[in-house]
């Protein structure tokens, strides 16, 4: 996953150093951008994974800049590293007391800085992950990705995924097999959402059997068709021979009566930003819930797109 680092600076010396020490990192891919001190408020709208402040570029006022960052609700947990020529204990403590994770003095120890950044990135990635089962980021990151695209007025598509008749599968096959279905679902969604050239496409795991994907354009139909086809084929392999041949599962309902349930299917609600009249992520979620519900009324795996703003 692409990790954005913003450097508050007036030149690109530190950016070049970071680019050099991170270019061969095997775990994460980094995009490093320079942010002029006067541009900080605008830059914060993009909710980076890490912020580095050159103390010299802000005239030694790193504490004030850290407070401004923390006052932004979307960046109140974003890690901050301050790099400074000032080696005085009082200044270090003042900076660290204003919600800064690390204070480094120049000249930069490149190996030390490398491990600080990679360890912070790994920690934040882990903290933003809802389920160890899939390793996908959760609600905090999902909301951040939506806000970022909306503020930048990007064209994007959100896909909301949910499994139909998953409970009956769990009841018959058990939770361990159910976990296999969840992992298979995540792998299938990730495979096709990231199949294209864009490295800004995103997949998140809300929890349980609910997933969200965001693509950077409106080319969503091929993705949905591929996911539906692979999911249906894969689910057949996760059934025993009897259930696979007859095409349904027998399980007790809530009253204890044996019923026939269809094989687990995937429903996808698709929301195109061009069909929206809102810039509120909660309202986008409401539209997504409506189109996903419409998909769930269709027998078998399916997808439905919002042709208009259903929340209006």
The verdict on 46 and 111 lying in the same domain is: yes
Among 158, 166, 201, 202, which Cα is nearest to 185's?
166
Give the pLDDT score at 87: 94
The verdict on 11 and 110 lying in the same domain is: yes
The verdict on 155 and 224 lying in the same domain is: yes
Give the pLDDT score at 290: 93
Q: Domain boundary residue among 127, 149, 168?
A: 127
For every residue of 155-207, DSSP letters joined together read --EEEEEEEESHHHHHHHH-HHHHHHHHHHHHHHHHHHHTSSS-TT-EEEEEE
The verdict on 278 and 153 lying in the same domain is: yes
The verdict on 190 and 266 lying in the same domain is: yes
What is the phi-psi region of residue 209: left when phi exceeds 0, alpha when psi lies from -120 to 50, beta otherwise?
Answer: alpha
3-class secondary structure, 3: strand
Give the pLDDT score at 231: 98
The verdict on 81 and 9 lying in the same domain is: yes
The verdict on 187 and 260 lying in the same domain is: yes
The verdict on 192 and 271 lying in the same domain is: yes
- Cβ distance 209 to 185 under 8 Å? yes
Give the pLDDT score at 119: 94
Mean pLDDT, 10 residues at a time, over the chain (312 residues)? 90 94 90 94 89 95 93 88 95 94 94 94 74 83 87 90 95 95 97 82 93 90 96 96 93 84 96 81 88 95 79 36
Q: Where in the sequence is the domain holding 103, given as residue range(s)?
A: 2-127
Give the separation between CA 231 and CA 229, rounded to whole angstroms.
6
Give the pLDDT score at 198: 65
């Amino acid at each position: 996953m692409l990790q954005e680092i913003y450097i508050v600076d007036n030149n690109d010396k530190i950016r070049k150093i970071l680019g050099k020490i991170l270019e061969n990192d095997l775990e994460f891919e980094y995009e490093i951008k320079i942010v002029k001190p006067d541009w900080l408020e605008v830059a914060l709208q993009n909710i980076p994974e890490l912020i580095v402040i050159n103390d010299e570029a802000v005239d030694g006022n790193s504490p004030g800049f850290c407070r401004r960052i923390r006052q932004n609700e979307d960046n109140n947990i974003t890690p901050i590293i301050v790099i400074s020529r000032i080696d005085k204990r009082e200044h270090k403590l003042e900076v660290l007391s204003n919600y800064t994770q690390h204070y480094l003095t120049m000249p930069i120890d490149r190996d030390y800085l490398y491990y600080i950044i990679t360890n912070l990135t790994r920690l934040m990635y882990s903290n933003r992950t809802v389920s160890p089962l899939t390793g996908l980021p959760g609600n905090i990151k999902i909301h951040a990705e939506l806000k970022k695209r909306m503020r930048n007025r990007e064209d994007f598509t959100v896909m909301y995924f949910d499994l139909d008749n998953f409970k009956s599968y769990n009841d018959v096959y058990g939770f361990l097999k159910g976990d296999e279905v969840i992992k298979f679902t995540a792998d299938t969604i990730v495979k096709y959402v990231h199949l294209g050239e864009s490295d800004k496409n995103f997949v998140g795991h809300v929890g349980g059997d609910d997933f969200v994907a965001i693509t950077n354009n409106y080319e969503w139909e091929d993705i949905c068709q591929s996911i539906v086809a692979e999911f249906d084929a894969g689910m057949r392999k996760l059934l025993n021979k009897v259930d696979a041949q007859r095409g349904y599962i027998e399980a007790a309902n809530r009253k204890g009566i044996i019923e026939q349930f269809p094989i687990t299917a995937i429903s996808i609600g698709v929301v195109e930003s061009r069909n929206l009249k809102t810039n509120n992520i909660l309202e986008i979620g409401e539209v997504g819930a409506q189109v996903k519900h419409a998909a769930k009324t269709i027998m078998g795996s399916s997808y439905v797109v919002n042709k208009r703003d259903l929340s209006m």
